[in-house]
Structures are given as structure tokens and as C-alpha cells.
Amino acid sequence: MSSNKAVVCPEPGVVEVIDTPFPTFELTDGPGVNPANVGRKVPHGVILRTVATNICGSDQHMVRGRTTAPTGLVLGHEITGEVIEVGRDVEFIKVGDIVSVPFNISCGRCRNCKEQKTGICLNVNPDRPGSAYGYVDMGGWVGGQAEYVLVPYADWNLLRFPDRDQALEKIMDLTMLSDILPTGFHGAVTAGVTVGSTVYVAGAGPVGLAAAASAQLLGAAVVIVGDLNEDRLAQARSFGCEGINVAHGDPADQIEQLLGVREVDAGIDAVGFEARGHGHGAGAAEAPATVLNSLMDLTAAGGSLGIPGLYVTGDPGAADEAAQKGSLSLSLGTGWAKSLSFTTGQCPAMKYNRALMMAILHDRIHIAKAVNAQAILLEDAPRGYAEFDAGAATKYVLNPNGYLNR
């Protein structure tokens, strides 16, 4: 086999499907590949035929030109696949296994991996801790929005589904295990959500909806989701959340109308660095610190903020010079005065994915329905990106090899 089609961004605002090399067990030069990784041998890896690979809001930031991602980078870090070839050092993963790939690439050997901090592995990115497939400054590992993809440290990284037929039956749910479900769950866990909690989730995109569904799974009494997009708010309401449109005013005012108080027990930021101001309609100007400062205001003293929303250190499209470097005008004094806790950074997907797999397999959560997952062909990726960028209340799942037709 030598052919492989993949999704790339050749210039800001443009998505294309191209022919790209079939993966091998050695890293080769290409867009975004760290020079120190070129020639790196991967005998511990496997090659997957992609079963499903999803379009993520984090991909959208790169397509919009809001990161320092190089042109031509193969996109995609949400990967589910079938093993078709194993490296010589792979012991437990077998050809034919259906597996979920955590979006964090981790070695399983370093101190951070051994402490379950797989989002900041020390060995897979020569520049800094942490790596991912097809993402800016993440070590240059090729993305998974493709027909075939290489996964390193396979025995460590891959989550094998216990039954092939069952996995394919529930594949639209299980494909969310690579990123958004663990990420949303991490946001809820780090926000301190527990039985009886009142929760506010900023953002009704797929990660926000996953965080809301996760809060319900954890036993929250009330989950409130805020956004500017009425279609996405309707999606949140479809599985039992309250929805508030932040274009209509201060979220705290609207929370008070629902709960009788202006604060919640736990706050989750699922928006990130392209946040817009509140109370100014759908055309509100970008104000990247808006969500974080709002969450500090409306989270009760002693509470916690889970921040799965993406923030970057390089944003050429930011509104001012400080924000271009990731420096935001945070009201840290508010956080200090209220003794709030904050958790940011990549979700360590492996910490949660097996437990969440069991919740899916035993019908404790229906995440595909919650995020309105829809399968489209790989060649339809440009349309999926365009519709998602326009605000579609949909999680697009690419179907490169026909598994989702079965």
C-alpha cells in the first residue's frame, strides 16, 4: 500500500484533501515536523486504518489563521482506528484491534507519564512538554484526518475496545473518547463537579456540550450552558441543560433568574482564547479574557474553575499585542479574594478514557447525541470545516474508509 488521503490547511481559511505519503515506522520531514524528530524510529508504533476522525474546534483555530501553525500541516488529533500493521516492539496490541487514540502523544516512560500527566509528556516533543497529532508546536507528529495514521508507543497509548462488533455498533459515541469527552469530563472534574453541584459551562460547542454531559454524569443538580449561538443552546437544552444567551446580558443576572442566586458551585471555560464580550449581541467584539473574568465573578467563593478551553502563546490574529503572546487582562485579584482554584492545559485523556468507555458501552452516557454527531466523507471535510466555523450545532465525524456506513 502506498496511497493515503489527508486533510490539510494550505493557507488560512482553506481546507483541502490531498494525497500524502503512507505512514512508516520512521518520522520524515514535512510541514510542522520538528527537525529534531526527523528520522526518529518508531518500532513501538502501529499503523491504523482510520475508522473515524473528528473535526475539532482546536483544528478550527489553526484553519482561521489564529495560531502559528505552518501551511500544509496534516490536521486531526481525534482518531479511532483499526490496527493493520504493528512495529517490531509492540507486544500486546494486535492486527485487527479497534482502538481509540488519546490525542495526547505520550511515551509512558517519563516522570510525568508515570504520574498520569500524559498531556505534558517529556519525551515526545523536543521543544517543550506535551504533544499531539497534527497540531501546532506539538512536535510535528502527522495528523489523523487521513485514511491511515501512525501511532507511537502503541502498547501504552492505545485504548483497545473489548468487542469489535459492539465497538462498531457504538462507534459514533466511542470516537469521542479520543478528545472531547475526556476533555469535557476533565473540565467538570477539575471544576469540582459532584452530586448536587450547580454548574455553569461557558460555551456550547462540542467540548462545552461534552462538559455539560459529563457534569450530569457526575451527578450535578443543575447544568447551565452559556453561548451566543441559539442553535447550540438548543442542542444543550435537548439533553436537559439550561441554556442562556450571553448576548442578552450578564450571565450572572441570568443565572440568578434560574437559581435565585448569582453564583454556581463550579465553572467551566469551554470557549478559550477567541471569546467575545457579553451583552452586545452576536456581533460582539473579541475579548479573550471575558469568559475567565466572568467565571471568577459567578463561581462561589472556594470553588474551582476547569479550563479545557484552548489558550495559546502565539496568536497572530489577536486584537492587541499582549493577546498575540497569550497575555490577557485577568482579574486575578477576584480569584485570590474568593480563594478560587484554576486548572488549565491539555486534558490527560488516558486518565479518563477507559472509565468513559465503560460508561458508553453500558449506556450511562450518549455523547454522540449530546453533541449532535454527524458522519461525513473525508472528501467533504472542507464543507464540514466551513459549516462548523459558521456555527453549526454539529460535531462532524469524518469517515475515510467506510466503517461508518456499516
Count Cβ neighbours within 10 Å for each residue of 128-165 and write b for 16 or more, e otherwise. Answer: ebbbbbbbbbbbbbbbbbbbbbbbbbbbbbbbbbeeee
**pLDDT (0 to 100) of residue 279:** 63
**pLDDT (0 to 100) of residue 377:** 97
**pLDDT (0 to 100) of residue 328:** 85
Percent of the chain at pLDDT > 90 equals 82
Smallest Cα–Cα separation from 212: which of 187, 234, 230?
187
Burial-class residue 249 by CB neighbours within 10 Å (0-12, 13-18, 19+): middle
Write down the domain spans for the chain: 5-179+348-405, 180-343
Lowest-confidence pick of 134-138, 344-348, 394-398: 134-138
**Residue range 270-289, pLDDT digits in tens:** 998 888 777 665 567 778 78
Element holding 385 (H helix, E strand): helix 381-389
Percent of the chain at pLDDT > 70 equals 98
* 319 or 117, higher pLDDT: 117
Please count the other Cβ atoms lying within 10 Å of the Cβ belonging to residue 272: 22
| pLDDT mean across residues, the chain | 94
Report the C-alpha gap between 155 and 157 in whole angstroms.
6
| CATH class of the domain whose range is 180-343 | alpha beta
Contacts of 191 (CB under 8 A, 6+ apart): 199, 266, 267, 268, 303, 304, 305, 306, 343
Model pTM?
Answer: 0.95
Is the domain defined by 5-179+348-405 classed in CATH 3.60.10.10? no
**pLDDT (0 to 100) of residue 272:** 86
pLDDT band at 269 (very low <50, low <70, confident <90, very high): very high
**pLDDT (0 to 100) of residue 2:** 63
Report the C-alpha gap between 18 and 7 in whole angstroms.
6
**Residue range 202-238, pLDDT digits in tens:** 999 999 999 999 999 999 999 999 999 999 999 999 9
Q: Are 315 and 326 in contact (CB under 8 A)?
A: yes
**pLDDT (0 to 100) of residue 281:** 58
pLDDT band at 319 (very low <50, low <70, confident <90, very high): confident
Work out the average pLDDT over 57-63. Answer: 91
Work out the average pLDDT over 132-145. Answer: 90
Alpha-helical (H) ranges within 299-380 are 321-324, 332-337, 353-361, 367-370
**Residue range 4-44, pLDDT digits in tens:** 999 999 999 999 999 999 999 999 998 888 888 899 999 99
**pLDDT (0 to 100) of residue 317:** 81
